[in-house]
């Protein structure tokens, strides 16, 4: 068997395009190895839509250290923290928040501790938690399917990653439910609009939309990369300049709902 290729977003896009066109040839030469968290969780989302086989059911994908995480996610658990390292875990959002949010608070503490243990200052670790909470609030306010939200994190020697995803209506349909954005017909344009302050399905007059701005706060000085997926587009911000002007959109195979993937290396 050939040396496995790293499962990057570019590699995942290639596999998904091939599958979408019915040209995914599974032969002895095909072998990938999971590395970064984002591509693996996006793969799992594409699997749920039937485009790719599930990661733990793919013989030509080596899950490496992410095997326990994926198996726990596929096993239907609502919450999981790696029992040995405490450096990875996930949380599934309930349909409605109960008055007792002990589990969510505990998960946030686990995220913060993992980021701190990976070498990030406690204030930066707290900002990660704040960004995650903002994205989870977006699941409840805009996805139309709050019970489908999933938060995944992993900390390592090279940095900290988190992904927030849902299987809801997506950014374009959410924005088009507002009269102010009825003329938006492109998923890429919708993703770009969602970067802006004050943009949401409630309309600019409501002043409720913060876009993805909270994710940018505290990340601009880190060597970070962000990828947002909805519909048939991805929006990517990569490198030192974490802002709207550096965002790039490109057409991709269709993704149900919405996914935000954030990866930051230690300063």
d(Cα 207, Cα 25) in Å, to the nearest integer? 49
The C-alpha atoms of residue 148 and residue 13 are separated, in whole angstroms, by 23
The token duo for 75 is: 């096993």
Rounded-to-integer distance, Cα 225 and Cα 236, Å: 7
What CA–CA distance (Å, rounded) separates 115 from 153?
9
pLDDT computed for residue 212 by the predictor:
65
Q: Are 82 and 89 in contact (CB under 8 A)?
A: yes
SS3 per residue for 86-140: CCEEEEECCCCCCCCCHHHHHHHHHHHHHHHHCCCCHHHHHHHHHHHHHHHHHHH
Which tokens go with 23? 């040209």
Residues of the chain predicted below pLDDT 50: none
pLDDT score at 180: 83
pLDDT value of residue 127: 86
Tens digit of pLDDT for each residue in 197-209? 767 655 555 555 5
Note the pLDDT of residue 193.
86
Asked whether 260 and 164 are in contact (CB, 8 A), the reply is yes
Query: Looking at residue 179, what is its pLDDT?
Result: 83
> Looking at residue 68, what is its pLDDT?
96
Q: How many CA atoms lie within 13 A of 47 on its CB side?
A: 16
pLDDT of residue 221: 59
The pLDDT score that the predictor gives to residue 209 is 54
Q: Report the pLDDT value the prediction gives residue 260, as an integer from 0 to 100.
A: 93
CA distance 181 to 15: 33
pTM of the model: 0.92
- pLDDT tens-place string over residues 43-79: 999 999 999 999 999 999 999 999 999 999 999 899 9
Burial category of 99 from C-beta neighbours within 10 Å (exposed 0-12, middle 13-18, buried 19 and up):
exposed
């Amino acid at each position: 068997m050939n040396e496995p290729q790293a499962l990057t977003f570019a590699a995942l896009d290639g596999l998904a395009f091939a599958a979408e066109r019915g040209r995914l040839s599974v032969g002895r030469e095909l072998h990938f190895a999971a590395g970064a968290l984002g591509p693996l969780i996006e793969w799992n989302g594409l699997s749920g839509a039937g485009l790719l086989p599930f990661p733990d059911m793919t013989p030509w994908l080596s899950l490496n250290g992410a095997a326990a995480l994926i198996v726990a996610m596929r096993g239907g658990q609502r919450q999981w923290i790696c029992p040995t390292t405490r450096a990875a875990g996930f949380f599934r959002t309930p349909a409605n928040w109960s008055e007792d949010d002990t589990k969510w608070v505990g998960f946030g503490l686990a995220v913060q501790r993992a980021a701190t243990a990976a070498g990030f200052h406690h204030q930066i670790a707290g900002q990660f938690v704040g960004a995650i909470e903002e994205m989870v609030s977006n699941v409840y306010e805009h996805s139309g399917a709050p019970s489908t939200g999933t938060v995944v994190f992993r900390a390592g020697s090279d940095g900290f990653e988190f992904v927030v995803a849902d299987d809801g209506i997506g950014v374009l349909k959410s924005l088009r439910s507002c009269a102010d954005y009825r003329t938006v017909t492109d998923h890429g344009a919708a993703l770009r609009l969602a970067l802006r302050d004050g943009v949401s399905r409630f309309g600019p007059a409501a002043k409720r939309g913060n876009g993805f701005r909270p994710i940018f706060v505290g990340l601009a000085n880190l060597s970070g990369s962000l990828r947002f997926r909805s519909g048939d587009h991805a929006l990517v911000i990569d490198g030192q300049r974490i802002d709207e002007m550096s965002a790039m959109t490109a057409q991709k195979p269709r993704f149900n709902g919405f996914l935000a993937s954030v990866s930051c290396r230690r300063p």
